[in-house]
Structure 1
Amino acid sequence: MLRNFSGSFRLPNFNFTEELLNLTSNGSPSLTAELENKLDGLFRDSPALGRYFSRSQIYHYSDGPVTALFRLMFRMPEEKEEEEGGQLTHFTLSWEMIYNVLRQFLYDQEVDPSDHTYIEPASLNISSVVTNRKDCHCL
């Protein structure tokens, strides 16, 4: 079973440039790689979520206060889901769990005005999309 989450967050220490709108430009891949590595490291190191985490993807930036749009992808073996009677997806891979793990990480990060990958915790927004079920929760 695939479970995907999409969301956004602001990068208050990063100045917007037109290059960010083109994900293949010089400035964008570097920032994108740094943010994806930050998200990947967080979820791979999570005791509850690490074994199900597949990858993150930054897929768009918007101007104003620089806002990054992202996806988080999780994969759970079908047999594991059946074995647990749906509880694993309902609780472990719930949007509440994903949101709270990421939010806690953001609140624990050090505020450094020179860190261009600093993510403003209050700007976090996540919604979940389940590929083979019709439930979607938004926060």
Structure 2
Amino acid sequence: MPFPVPVRPTDLDRVVVVAEPRHALNLLRLAVLRNDDVFFVADSMPAEAWLYASRFAVEVAHRAFEPRDLAGAAALLLALPDPEQENTILREARRRKVPVHVVNRPLVSDLSVMGLLEGADRRPAAA
């Protein structure tokens, strides 16, 4: 397994987030820091995450992940309660050569999202 690579905000274009409700808001915040093209896929998400997504024009698909969701993706942030489901999505991302950060599973992650936090200029709050 390669050592996770730090990713700088300027390295990313379209970021796809697939997350369960308890990780939804934090991953959205992380993805939106310097990425204008964020696509979020979730069966359900808390109201706070919906509001945040609408403030920053995040494209949201209220459904289960589909392989086509990775089209044009530069990175995938993944956090699901079912390891089998995570592994299925991880395999698809690797097949498409999309680097992945899996929350709480650094040994299977291809990248480290800490680079997103270093020097991030924090987008201003939307009105």
TM-score w.r.t. structure 1 length? 0.27
Which has the higher relative contact order, 1 or 2, with Cα contacts under 8 A spaced 6 or more apart? 1
TM-score w.r.t. structure 2 length? 0.28
